[in-house]
Copies of this chain bind each other. A is one copy, B any other.
């Protein structure tokens, strides 16, 4: 790890010297970008990770679409639980196959909005976000791999359906998707926004249920666990409990196997946790207290 020779502290501070705040926004184009944005929007590593995820989505869904038996849906959050796979038979035929995608930081990168937020340091406001939804279409970029991945799905007869928590402009969301080279999205058929299930909530189970009535959903993709099931949105769970729910047991078997995550360390409900939660007992090393020769203790892990 070349990176071993990079100071974590220095990196963090470098990021913070440019972090937006009212006092000192990073207005100059020569200022260092916040490190999470350097990674997601600027690095080859994030581009490679995204292309890899999109290849996995298309390979998985196309392989499923070629199976001969009556297709089944993937497990997904519906009605506050993770529903088992369901038969996709409808009468003596099948529902059309679909993959359900989140939009922001899953199929498109909202670089235009993040540029504005970083350079101004302005706090989030619904007014500005509404304007972004309505006018940002030509300021987005496709997530690397998404254009090829969506094209491969459409060519295989699989419908991309978009389930986003945007709430102000279906037209703007469809324009952004088209502008990124991802094709057409039709409101309430292949594009669902917050509220389209009659509930003004960021929870998506209700919209997943609407989509599953019409389509055989064979895979889900998003940057947030709520893009897969509302159970992950339960705020009574601590971050370690939420991570455990995703990384152990039955649900862990779904990653890369029907559920596909796109990386997003820039914003979202993934960015929670105290030092004590992120660094549990057993991980709190110090050069002063470390034994001269630590024993090789077997950790549990998956």
Contacts and interface: CB of A to CB of B under 8 A. Distances in A.
Contacts of A19: 9, 12-13, 15-16
B53 A52 contact: yes
Contact of A275 (B30, B223, B226, B266): B30
* Copies of the chain in the assembly: 2
Given A224-B45, A295-B138, A301-B146, A9 B271 contact: no
Interface string A114-138: 1111110111101011011011111
Contacts of A255: 48-49, 51-52, 55, 145
A185 B252 CA distance: 27
Contact of A279 (B18, B111, B290): B111
Contacts of A164: 1
Interface residues on A, range: 35 or more
A198 to B, nearest CB: 18
Contacts of A119: 275
A117 B8 contact: yes
A129 B5 CA distance: 8
A292 B3 CA distance: 45
A47 to B, nearest CB: 4
Interface stretch (A86-94, A208-216, A241-249): A241-249
A164 to B, nearest CB: 6
A290 B8 contact: no
A227 to B, nearest CB: 8
Contacts of A2: 165, 202, 224, 226, 233, 268-269
A118 B245 CA distance: 26
A294 B139 contact: yes
A44 B232 contact: yes
Contacts of A123: 7, 9-10
B299 A128 contact: no
A68 interface: no
A113 B240 CA distance: 19
Given A43-B271, A138-B294, A124 B8 contact: yes
Contacts of A135: 285, 287, 290-294
Nearest to A18: B275
Contacts of A29: 274-276
Contacts of A283: 111-112, 115, 139-141
A263 to B, nearest CB: 5
A37 interface: yes
